[in-house]
Structure 1
């Protein structure tokens, strides 16, 4: 009798284990939709070199259990709202420019410091690797995926070679750090997002814009500016962030797929693919009628760098207020950039 009871107990336990395993497998394979929101046009170079390849790779790695729906061109909200959109569950993943909300994310603003990052691919990998230890503090209400950058310059209606020329100009700045730099130089900032920039320039609301090279063409801004300063003036950093509740509901296998795609490798991959394409826009503009690539001498570059020193000091002070050590953080980022030959 005891033997029969033991056999029954074992059989019941085994059946229960199988049911639990089946339940786990079912949860892992349950089809889910990932709503990916961004504010670029669907034909933009980053959509083709970053968003779409990443989405296809996630879908393939998840064996189709994660289906990605794209919402480009501010369909779900304004460009500056994309961080809050993912936090609040309006979207599941968003592409965010932290500099659109100046002062809210002071640590990652290091990537925006003038003349710090020169190469977008290794620069993206360096910034992402450096920022990961701070992301949990600064972006704690979302799941951080990865960070990357583009590198750009100033495009204007007249030649600009020296920082003294900014005084009295109206500049559409790429982010909060560049805006502080423009103010330091005596210029006035025009706060509009990238999709609104061409209109601001055509209406005379702005005289110049800080922007990457190819996006000048893809946003049609080449119709509003004609001179392009040949220098690596600034970088803008971007983050891909995810709604925590959406991620937490995934099965274990699906979470691994997402984790594998929220990596430093993908940060460098997206940064290089998009950054190299953006840089290629310089040649397009050089060949375009009515456009001039304005040469900037090494001595003039030194003038720009010298003028940026107060912005570095302001950044370190802002980071100190978060409880981190601004000077140490900047040294660590510079070492990371140097190790990857990205400065």
Structure 2
């Protein structure tokens, strides 16, 4: 009899323990390099964290560490996700030059038409070509930012105007683009750009509209050179939101499903859409500051596009040498962008 009671109590205890474990709150450490005022933090991460909390009955919650609060530098974020310093990070693979060559193709000049459609294309592309490069993490999203333009202390209306200018770009291929245009490229992550402009370390930079007011660059920049809306963007940059693989594997199956339902192609496209929608209001802040705007003519842009085509051909040859099916990758990226842009 006593044995029966003990067995019953043991079973009840095990059941209670399982229930407690089931209801355990899991805090995800989410790290990024932006300030809390940034669109990415306000319009993407906070709503995403609220959504996974709601869909998990508050068993999944985020602790967000903006502005590199977990230490390190922006190029180290992806490794922080791989090592478990953070559970989820948001960063640019291109900050680690040469480490993620498969997705670089989207950073070639004149690829993207809209961030939303290009981000959807990028997710599909990365599913096929990015598995090896991103094997150390679990990607939750791949996306690009809104169309990138040239901004600086002097007006730029022709390729010759780049001569002698020190221009900042975010990634390896955008640096190569600026060099092809005749500028002296200076690589640096976004948080360093404001100080570099204020101290005269650089003469200008390439960035999309969205982020410029966030880091007060519209107050340090006099001239903005845009490209015709009918043309593909001068450039864009690739971002990823990536999760530590062990952390994901440790989640109960129902919580894995919550993460899965809030990652992938739709999440990637949504982030791109947020960026697209943000551009006009951000640009307006530069207008309100009295800055001057110029449109690169289609005739002038033809020369820029030729430089971009040469850069694409160089990328194909370089990647072939590393064993990648590079022409296939370039054709696939362009084809997917066209498919989703229709």
State the Cα distance separating 1:182 from its structure 2 match. 1.4
Q: Are 1:140 and 2:140 counterparts?
A: no
Determine if contact 1:28/1:253 at 8 Å carries over to the other structure: no
Aligned length: 328
In the TM superposition, what is the alpha-carbon distance from 1:317 to its structure 2 partner?
A: 2.6
Superposition pairs of residues 69-84 of structure 1, within 5 angstroms: 69-76=63-70, 77-84=72-79
Per-residue deviation, residues 114-144 of structure 1 (Å, max 9, x unmatched):
1110201111111111111223211111111
**Are 1:106 and 1:318, in contact at CA under 8 Å, matched by a contact in 2?**
no
Which of 155, 160, 165 in structure 2 is aligned with 1:164? 160
Gap runs ≥5 in structure 2: 228-232
Is this contact kept in 2: 1:27–1:250, CA < 8 A?
no
Q: Secondary structure at the match of 2:236?
A: strand
The aligned runs of 1:250-261 (5 Å cut-off) are 250-261=251-262
Q: Could you tell me which residue of structure 2 aligns to residue 333 of structure 1?
A: 333
- The whole-number CA distance in structure 2 between the counterparts of 1:21 and 1:264 is 38
Determine which of 198, 201, 206 is the counterpart of 2:197.
Answer: 201
Using the TM superposition, give the Cα deviation of residue 203 of structure 1 relative to its aligned residue in structure 2, in angstroms.
1.1
3-state DSSP of counterpart to 1:160:
coil
Partner of 1:3: none
State the 1:192 CA deviation.
2.0
Q: How well do the aligned residues superpose, as a CA RMSD in angstroms? A: 2.1
The alignment status of 1:242 with 2:243, answered yes or no, reads yes
Instruction: Name the counterpart of 2:110.
Output: 115
> TM-score under structure 1 normalisation?
0.90
Partner deviation per Cα, 1:171-203 (whole Å, 9 max, x = no partner): 111211100111222321222211110111111
Moved over 4 A (4+): 18-28
Given that 1:102 and 1:177 are in contact with CA atoms closer than 8 Å, whether structure 2 keeps it comes out as: no
**Paired position in structure 2 for 1:59:** 53
TM (norm. structure 2) is 0.90
Q: Please, which runs of 5 or more residues in structure 1 have no aligned partner?
A: 1-7
Q: How does 1:150-229 map to 2 (within 5 A)?
A: 150=145, 151-229=147-225
Aligned twin of 2:30:
36
